[in-house]
Structure 1
């Protein structure tokens, strides 16, 4: 035979898992005997199993859980190898859970995929001598194998076969350990989270004080799964929970409690001197903690109490020592978890990748949703049925997901906060928070700030920077609550958003006074027939209306007088009709409208208006009389190039905070001079205008942000207000003169990219320590003295310049793709962090990339991916410098640590790559300012050891859902704890299958924990 193969048998016992009963063999190796039988494959076989080769048969391929295919130079010469390859591929398609692992041994995957090089030569012969249909199938199978990933000797471990084999064996052992998909799908991402929680929050080897730690997050995110690695639990009422707590810790099964009050006293009396670990799950009320006497004084020194809740406010009331917010899964983890459930493998089948990615995006890293949807889709075999099922799920949330997420909604305190949640979930996701709060305030007798905070505490709302964000599944839960009120009668619902429901109600003119909000978004060139305004006649209490690119006919007096929010992109009329009652409106957004003038003077003008947005209304020529809008805070005219009259009305806007005049074709000095009267202005945006000079704006004492990007005629910026903390004047190619910034002590960010004529900024180096970020890439005329002076400063968020080399004061330097190696001296009294500098360039102009700095602490076994900036390279082959500081408040470096630093760019486009040419590092001994973490994202990642690592003491054990075992770290840390109890105070998994389980922490101790485990994952 020309090909060799090996099947390593694993005996199956009566107690084997489902995987061992199903698979006769663990590993099958397919390889070209003449190439590797006595070399690589022999070493791999011995390293992985130590067994002998057996004869190759189809039954061995079918019976093997994992198949390794070793592609070598002469592999394709053998028709036996290629036939075996096809057999492997057919088994992969037909057998759920089969894993195929390619190895590219001195062969590039592209040679396999394209049949080039030695593979091309072999196929020229096969095409002459073999069945054409069979050859065509071989080509398809080779293409498929080349896309499966695996390991490539050429790009791994510097071609060192010994190290390469160790990495391969590590991969295979990992696959064997997780070969039962039921086990694997519950272990995805858990090890890293357990390690992070144990080291940063639990601190069981640290303080001897009693510590209470809170875990909080939205339903289904995996809070309880994290706790399961510590101990098990059960669902009971409060008296039963108190009994459980005492029985499990004191090991006295006959303890009886008659009332909550008696239980509280008993816990306080009998557990006060004991060192315990207690996990209390699913707490939604701080009173429950009082009844369980969860207080620092209730337990002995060194005790740890973990509280799990959906509501952060519970932890605030309890005043916990630390709070851990459960994190969603990364995209990679989510795709793997979905794949185990849907495909029985760690990655999706090739033809399902796009659909699987859509599912991952929709689930937003929520394990519960990935679990439920993955299992549901696993029963749908064909791609078309898969797609139909997925489309249905997106429009009608799965019951189990909906019920779990709804628990957070059901726990809201009153109808008012419920209403705020429903309003946001239907109409205001991705809107600016201050806008939404002003709109909702106007609908209520009191401020909604408290309600917004409650929604945040219960993980029903995120505020990302200034925007309101909501997880897609939380949004869909809110919309489903309203839909279910009147599932078959949309006209009776309080809020309408679904396209078919809205068009039906408007077409039939069947709307009722129950409707509080309505949104209909059509494409810009929609051929939808106009609706009649009479369709709104009965919607007397309508407050929120969005009608993008919708046309109406009839009198506008039919629209509700109660409107607070009007968003109508593509408004089709030249002027707002006089009979449209605008008096209660707080926000009007008529972007991309046909307006020539905004409105005629009448008694129905929006005198309560705070926000007016008329962006890209290109026909607009005349601005309205702003004296009629005394409360106006924001005015946006972005892209309104035709406005020629009404700028003098600016002087009447005494409350204006934000003015956007981007791309308004402003060249008239009179327009600019009118800005000087806006004494309340905080944000001024003048990007893309053609003026040559800017008026002196130092009289605007409230101005904080000034944007002058792409003002390509601007030659000088005169004195600026001392209140300014951000100035952007990127791509001002004629700019030569900047003001003296020495007295502008509030300024923290300065952006002057590609201001190619700028030579100097007076006294910038004198107040450099105040700055967080400075971008001056492409400022090629800067003097050498200026650049030398500012390179000696300390900019937390980063300094960017056009410079060719690393400053000489950085002692640790590496070239190109090399890693900087740093050993922290043990003599340092204080470590502020790391100063990092890179030189980068691109062969392409106008390409964008995100800088990622990887910091691996091999001593502490931690890994950070740090994202300090996004940059755009505008000139090919030009070298740029970035210099910034990474705070030790995140890195936690200590004397003696061995640290590795590597930098690269993650590009937005594959063809436009930014390359790091040099990296320099130094250890910072001074303390950073309070704002030093504001501008930089630190992502702590799972630690991946390299070939130099030999210490395995801190490796985490695998996590299995069938038999939940604590990791090695927990076993050793909790060996001396008296009791370990997980208490479910009101688990959402009622009615799920349960089983009694028992586990021991420590060696031979009596600290067994007895509980009832819910079989669902996760809650």
Structure 2
């Protein structure tokens, strides 16, 4: 067994897993361990559970020893036959070694066994098990091993754990599991990414924890956080949510309430708390009734962020009286008067940072340490003074100066700030934008105008089509505190940063996101969002688009509106030759018609176009060249019968066709797309076979075939040698998998579940 050196016990050690589960499979796999694993995953705790163990007569696998060492917590489920498994005992010995040398937290569960039996190795099952061990391990090395097992059991039995049959749980597994998860959750450190943001907020978090009274399950409570924009309300709410959410039956953090429709917010609230994805709400009145009916029996934690209107509270939590005891609601707002409708509420004003804490926060972002660098003390103090205790300004300014060692640059930025009146917070933040290079500025403004709240991978794919190097630039913008990532990798920004970006975009005039701006210098427009409402004149929009000869990116969307297919076709027919990105989701026509020349197009998204029968057959339009196109997204086109002829797009890299349920075959020209990287055919239920590649496709790394329930055979993997991800789960008619799958040396993830 590998030993651990004390140097490995550093508090900065990175963990692969939150929890390692140690258990005896025949006793517990199908009951408490299965339930515990399910709820650990539901609470977002990354858990290692060995489902393929073969315990009899085999030494413990090295991968298990490594998994134990790389876990923050070890949950050991002691059962009657636990000690009969040398595998389990080796695991336990390793766990107790990690407890001693790495400060691993051990959480014992005593399942149908008394802790004293574990501690003393008594009781029939433990006594018989050790009698066999002592019989089988008679040499000196074996005797030492048995003694190590006994020592580990004694130490583990002395730890205050969870006794299922004890007075606290009386045999109720779910009650025990909830306590185990709460035990783990309260010992989890905050995510490393929030440490800098917490500077100056620690004492406030302690005060808020006291006000929330999370330990009191006999009351329901609403906590209102109020204060000016950029003061840190959302940060405090987020950290509080992360710290306590696992102790509730369900939880939801709703960002930016005022930026989203009530029905959408209601759907998200129910989906998050109930963990259901199929919830649909037609109107807000129906929504609040559904919320109260479905959640009144659950202990919930709900955060409503950035509320600015009473109607938002009425339609999301009402007066709060319906909440079950033990539930908590946290509201952030700039308007304290919104709290008057609640009978049980604690109010907390988030105030500006004191000078000492403000300097510390600025220093963490500017110098990556607690105090200013030598020679920069006075300049740092001046920036802090002009920030006026506002955390957002301190983060943004500090991040924009990080790594800058030329004091003249610092002085120049400081002079710009001094020239702006004290009340104009947004304008003071502009120095962070001014310090970006031109490409990074373009990415920032595109996200501000078109992609706020969208998934990072989607944004990167679109902007990659525009050759804007989005992966590096988004990371840069996050480092500069102009963007942040949250909620399943969605990209967001503070309201004040958003306002800054919109002001800059209005100055530049090359981006339009409102229809009433279209007739203002249309020839200057390079990026356009057409978001239609029912009462808008579509023909005027079409005329404006015809004049946009520099247009590079067009995004078409609807807001409770259905265009007729002829209007959509009119938009399609007037697309300019300059277009690089076209996102036209939910297109209503059966056959889209493109203009003759689209040489610059790199990104085409017609996803969720339910009426689409055929994609454009580019091969039948000889003058139509699409050699630059790298991505086609036709996901959720439920009526699609055939794919396009790929002959005219030799540089295609990404092809998304998931949930095209009527699609039966792929055009054979796909065989010539040697630059393909990713193919997604998830839930193409009518697809019977894939084309046989006639040449090596070295660039394909991702092949998604999940739920292709009509698929009979797989392709020859010898021609896809660098495949890293392959999903064949739920391909129920699959007769055979090509034997060349054994030669996929780069394969990282393979799913054959329910084949």
Q: TM-score if structure 2 supplies the norm length?
A: 0.43
Whichever structure has more helix as a proportion of its residues is: 2
Structure ID, larger Rg: 1
Q: TM-score if structure 1 supplies the norm length?
A: 0.33
- Bigger RCO (CA 8 Å, 6+ sep): 1
